[in-house]
Amino acid sequence: MSLAEPAALPVTTSAPPRLHILKRFTTGFKTSLPAYLLLLPSLIFLALFTYGAMGRVLVDALYQRATPKAPVRFVGLDNINAVLADPAFTGAVVNNLIYAVGTAIPSITLALLFALALSRTNAVTSVLRAALFLPVLIPMVAASALFLFIFLPNVGLLDYYIGRLLPVLPNWLGDSDIALYAIMIITIWKNAGYYMLFFLAGLQAVPEDVMEAAHLDGAGPFQRLRYIILPELKPTFLFVTVIATLNAVTQVDHVFVLTQGGPSNATNLVLFYIYQQAVEHYDIGKASAATLLTLAALMGLTALSFRTMANREGGA
């Protein structure tokens, strides 16, 4: 839009203010018309498939029907209240928080360790990088189907190898105390390699001369990590943390394939809860309300990520 802004707008200061505004508006619109026309194709699709859907969710969240045959009526915030009062939703939020923290921290730590170990490029590290990146290339659904067999009680790959060491073989996905952690292991395995890429890129940005100076001053590997590398990686850390948190909310393929939120809702995450409300309960109002709540949380996160980016630009 700023492209289309006329160079000198205020022509005369003595003109009547209303006319001035109107004129300014029309000339402004006229000059930016080509820009809007160029944007139109994308805008149409954005409106149809993104904002249209969001608007629909907003409307649906405000309507509910009292009995199966009754028509939907406006209920205001009742749906949102019903969602917040639903123990399955609060349970899903708690599960999601455990899941977010329990997947973000280990996968980021692993990613950093991998990146530090493989920061120099040679034949060996290239092969290892490719190996660690491989899980990223496997679609989550396919990975989950693989893990279904790994986690099979008694006969699965996992029990086959570590079963001998344990006194009792755990039912990895069928035990409500263990299932969520089994799900988390898949996420960590899948995402660590992806986050490693960001850290590898971040490590390239660590100034060579500072490192050399530290080396000459006799700083050991730990000191260089603590005082030079980690501070330099701060923007990468913030960025990856936001991505990891977003992933924790938006990726539920493995829940869908492996546990369907069970046993007894032990692995139910927020997005899966929304799916259940919409599909199993056929309750569009409640599903939309839960979607709105999640959307609000995600928008907060996105704002955070924008600020992170801004800090990164400004802080350099």
Partner 1 sequence: MLFSRRLMLGLAIAGTMAGALAFPALAEGPTEIDLFFPVPVDGKLARDMGTLIKEFNETHPAIKATAVYTGSYDDTLIKTRASIKAGKPPAAVIMSANFLLDMQIENELTNLDSLIAADGTSKDQFLGQFFPALQGNAVINRSVYGVPFHNSTPLLYINADQAKEAGLDPNKPPQTWAELTDWAKKLTKREGDKVTRWGIAIPCAYDYCGWMMETLTMTNGGRYYNEEFGGEVYYDTPSMQGALTWWNDLVTKHKVHPPGATPGPAVSTSFISGNAAMMMLSTGSLTYVRDNAKFAYKVAFIPRNVRNAVPIGGASLIIPAGLEADKQKAAWTLIKWMTSPEKSAWWSRATGYFAPNMAAYKTPDMVEFLSKNPDAKTAVEQLNVAKPWFATYKTVPVRKTLEDEVMLVLNGKKQPKEALVAAQKAADETLKPYNAETSLKLP
User: Where on the chain is the footprint of partner 1 (CB under 8 A)?
Assistant: 38, 41, 66-70, 148, 152-155, 167-169, 171, 173-177, 260-265, 279-282
For the record, the structure tokens of 190 come out as 């899948």
For the record, the structure tokens of 151 come out as 């986690």
Residue placing its CB nearer to partner 1 in the complex, 41 or 314: 41
Smallest distance from partner 1 to CB 178, Å: 9
The DSSP symbol for 227 reads: I
Sequence letter at residue 234: K
Angle, vertex CA 188, rays to CA 93 and CA 262, nearest 5: 45
Residue placing its CB nearer to partner 1 in the complex, 155 or 296: 155
Smallest distance from partner 1 to CB 250, Å: 20
Q: Are the CB atoms for 171 and 235 separated by under 8 Å?
A: no
Residue placing its CB nearer to partner 1 in the complex, 114 or 272: 272
Smallest distance from partner 1 to CB 304, Å: 32
Question: HSE-up of 257 (CA within 13 Å, CB side)?
Answer: 18
Mutual angle of helices 179-204 and 234-250, in 10-degree steps: 150
Residue placing its CB nearer to partner 1 in the complex, 38 or 97: 38
Smallest distance from partner 1 to CB 281, Å: 5
Smallest distance from partner 1 to CB 65, Å: 8
Smallest distance from partner 1 to CB 9, Å: 27
- Give CA–CA dist 233/312, Å, rounded: 10
In the three-class reduction of DSSP (H, G, I as helix; E, B as strand; rest coil), residue 73 is classed as strand
Q: Are the CB atoms for 100 and 185 separated by under 8 Å?
A: no
Smallest distance from partner 1 to CB 5, Å: 20
Residue placing its CB nearer to partner 1 in the complex, 177 or 208: 177
Q: Are the CB atoms for 304 and 241 separated by under 8 Å?
A: no
Residue with tokens 């490192």: 211
First to last CA, the chain: 28
Residue placing its CB nearer to partner 1 in the complex, 135 or 263: 263
Residue with tokens 């923007």: 235
Residue placing its CB nearer to partner 1 in the complex, 125 or 176: 176
For the record, the structure tokens of 101 come out as 């923290």
